[in-house]
Structure 1
Amino acid sequence: MARSAPRAGDPTLHQMRIFWAVARSETLTKAAKQLGLAQPSLSQQLGKLETTLGNRLFHRRSNEMELTEAGNFLLPRVEQVLRIVAELEDGLAQFSGGLRLTLRLAGINSVLRGLLPTAVRAMQEKFPELDFDIQESAPTDILDLLYGRRVNIGLLAADSVAQAGVGFLQVPLMEDPYVLVVPKDLLLDGVRNPKIELAPAHWAMLNQSIQFSFGSQHTNRVAEWYEQRLPEHRVVAQCRSFETAIGLVQAGAGVCLAPALASGSQGVSNSVRLYRVQGAARRIVALIPSQYRRVEPYASLLEELQCAAQTCTVGGILDTPPFLAVDPPQSF
């Protein structure tokens, strides 16, 4: 039986990917960045898709894009189509013979430094033809890259992006405890009343907080921690990366809370002291589309990352000073 030719009005796969990216991004500018396309081209393809379907898919308000009722109906069905296409691509990749395969991933600095090198070295032995495209990115950018299918795996803290797991499988890697990072000459071992026991200059240094935040909830939790433990502190700097905050501590600008992995990956143990604090650890995960979970080489990389996490230790972490052992434990 002869196959009928596609109708001129059929939506294309390219248009469906653009629609999905805009629906997830909520702005044309952000979607264009994800897809690596010019914004005018993006708008043109969306317009063609709406004409083809005979329905308006977005309410346009300046650069903001809000799904219409028709758009909300279409979105889960487009996601299903794209998921099937991705499964086809991954399945056919198994028959590529000796062709090289590039594994694309993005992650936060501390995880890329602390876990990835060991995993990559093990993968090179298993898959000699495999190469890597590695991007250091902020958590929100990692999610954008995943949604835009520009990377296959994202490595980040599970709570660093609101609803980070939506649409992706979370593969747990490790628990990363928080530490209080202080200058080397600020000795807090056994201190119960720092205002009395510390020299005036050291007491002043302890109360200069350098804070990192990646969202209002995290900011509020960090502020609450300081209010409970160091009620006389003042914020001397706000940072967008743990590495920047730790660098300021190294220079003697104050103290900061940071995950142990970020502190250890900086190689700063000779210039700072790390004191364990009470509280929930940062949960490091790999975000991956569910269809990749059992497909090679992704499955092996996840396994090697978990092995690297099991052997990863940050040395030099000191016991919690008595004055910081305040109940109940604070979660960050």
Structure 2
Amino acid sequence: MALGEHGTLLKASQQVALTQPGASKALQEIETTFGTPLFVRTNRGLEPNVVGHCVIRYARRIQTDLAHLRDEIVGITRGHGGRVAAGVIMGAVPLLTDAVSALVARQADLSVEIVEDTSAALLAELDAGRLDLAICRTTVSQTPQVYDSVKLQDETLAVIANVGHPLRHAKKLTLHELAPYRWVVYRANMPMRLLLEREYRESGIRFPQHLLETTSAFATLTLLQANPSFVALVSIEVARFFKIRQMARILPLALASQSEPYELVTRKGGPVQPASKLLIQELLHRQS
């Protein structure tokens, strides 16, 4: 892992508190154990080959599992507690945070890490063992069968804008009326972006060329605050969160397309830690 991060034996050896000759010997022993080279010597230093990338990925999983083991042991000896790392796409952030808030109210010693990103990035984090679970979509993966997933909730989308947006008093809107305004959207090929593109296509309108792309709810909000003419497509949960706090206004645009549901995703066949089970149970209970 250290070699993968630094690319040199010197820096890697310093990170793991070995001498450089000791690190070189350790690498030779590891490569002998696997029966194949893991790194390629280049002008830029040591670069992992295909097998090296695979070994590094599993090493990270092992490190994560050992860190979780330590936290779980502490939790068991104390009679409670533990740690869980959960990923979430932007639209489902309120869904996850509500569940986490309810859970930690009952489990005061529980530690939770929340990572917000795209479905593709979260699945990669699951693969690497950095996340215990994720609320995202497996449809973006070319190998969805490698995950255990449960439909959590249908996603409803809404268009939001600054509370001072020029169309704030409209009773009903169409895409034609919103076409002149700058959109804040997910990047290309993401489900929410594809839905908006389909709405434009079916309305016979050219999709805007100049967009503001982000996967962050906070970046979306700050962009809307910075320019009252911007509009954004978000989940209804995020839209309501902003509206209740008077941070944004929901514009009355009816979308014809159906969004993909949220899925609760874990690694197929992977161990599910007690703390993860608690969060999974809380999420499922809130949807029942």
Would you call these one fold, judging by a TM-score over 0.5?
Answer: yes
Tell me if the contact between 1:156 and 1:284 (Cα under 8 Å) persists in the aligned partners.
yes
Residue by residue over 1:99-128, the C-alpha shift from the partner in whole angstroms, topping out at 9 and shown as x without a partner, is 553322233344333333245424543x45
Q: Rate the CA distance shift 1:149–1:286 in 2: closer, same or farther, 3 A.
A: same
Q: Rate the CA distance shift 1:93–1:163 in 2: closer, same or farther, 3 A.
A: farther
Larger-Rg structure: 1
Distance 1:255 1:168 in 2: 35
Q: Rate the CA distance shift 1:240–1:136 in 2: closer, same or farther, 3 A.
A: same
1:206 Cα deviation (Å)? Answer: 3.6
Tell me if the contact between 1:142 and 1:154 (Cα under 8 Å) persists in the aligned partners.
yes
Tell me if the contact between 1:165 and 1:287 (Cα under 8 Å) persists in the aligned partners.
no
Residue by residue over 1:154-185, the C-alpha shift from the partner in whole angstroms, topping out at 9 and shown as x without a partner, is 233444x5348565422332111222335452
> What's the counterpart of residue 278 of structure 1?
256
Tell me if the contact between 2:104 and 2:110 (Cα under 8 Å) persists in the aligned partners.
no
Local SS of the residue matching 2:243 = coil
Q: State the one-letter code of the partner of 1:306.
A: L
Q: State the one-letter code of the partner of 2:110.
A: D
> What's the counterpart of residue 210 of structure 1?
183
Q: TM-score, normalised by structure 1?
A: 0.57
Within the alignment, does 1:299 sit opposite 2:272 as a pair?
no
Residue by residue over 1:70-120, the C-alpha shift from the partner in whole angstroms, topping out at 9 and shown as x without a partner, is x79x87xx79x96xx88x959x85993425533222333443333332454
> What's the counterpart of residue 112 of structure 1?
93
Q: Rate the CA distance shift 1:59–1:212 in 2: closer, same or farther, 3 A.
A: farther
Within the alignment, does 1:257 sit opposite 2:233 as a pair?
yes
Distance 2:196 2:128 in 1: 32
Distance 1:30 1:112 in 2: 34
Q: Rate the CA distance shift 1:173–1:242 in 2: closer, same or farther, 3 A.
A: same
Name which of 127, 138, 149 aligns with 2:129.
Answer: 149
Local SS of the residue matching 2:112 = strand
Distance 1:133 1:280 in 2: 32
Q: Rate the CA distance shift 1:104–1:47 in 2: closer, same or farther, 3 A.
A: farther
> What's the counterpart of residue 160 of structure 2?
181
Residue by residue over 1:190-241, the C-alpha shift from the partner in whole angstroms, topping out at 9 and shown as x without a partner, is x67x86xxxxxxx4x5432414234446556543432332615634432212
Distance 2:146 2:171 in 1: 44
Local SS of the residue matching 1:96 = helix
Distance 2:6 2:254 in 1: 39
Q: State the one-letter code of the partner of 1:102.
A: G
Q: TM-score, normalised by structure 2?
A: 0.64
Local SS of the residue matching 1:231 = coil
Q: How does 1:9-88 map to 2 (within 5 A)?
A: 18=1, 28-29=4-5, 48-57=29-38, 65-67=48-50
Distance 1:30 1:207 in 2: 47
Local SS of the residue matching 1:241 = coil
1:302 Cα deviation (Å)? Answer: 1.0
Distance 2:35 2:270 in 1: 32
Which segments of 5 or more consecutive residues in structure 1 lack a partner in the other structure?
1-17, 23-27, 32-37, 196-202, 311-332
Q: What is the alpha-carbon root mean square deviation over aligned residues?
A: 4.5
Identity of aligned residues (%): 11
Which segments of 5 or more consecutive residues in structure 2 lack a partner in the other structure?
17-22
Q: Rate the CA distance shift 1:211–1:162 in 2: closer, same or farther, 3 A.
A: farther
Tell me if the contact between 2:85 and 2:132 (Cα under 8 Å) persists in the aligned partners.
yes
Q: How does 1:303-318 map to 2 (within 5 A)?
A: 303-309=281-287
Tell me if the contact between 1:114 and 1:261 (Cα under 8 Å) persists in the aligned partners.
yes
Aligned length: 257
Q: Rate the CA distance shift 1:116–1:309 in 2: closer, same or farther, 3 A.
A: farther
Local SS of the residue matching 1:173 = strand
Name which of 200, 205, 210 aligns with 1:226.
Answer: 200
Distance 1:222 1:58 in 2: 44
Q: State the one-letter code of the partner of 2:260.
A: R
Q: State the one-letter code of the partner of 1:288.
A: T
Distance 2:134 2:207 in 1: 36
Residue by residue over 1:262-285, the C-alpha shift from the partner in whole angstroms, topping out at 9 and shown as x without a partner, is 322333676332534122323222
Q: State the one-letter code of the partner of 1:266.
A: F
Local SS of the residue matching 1:113 = helix
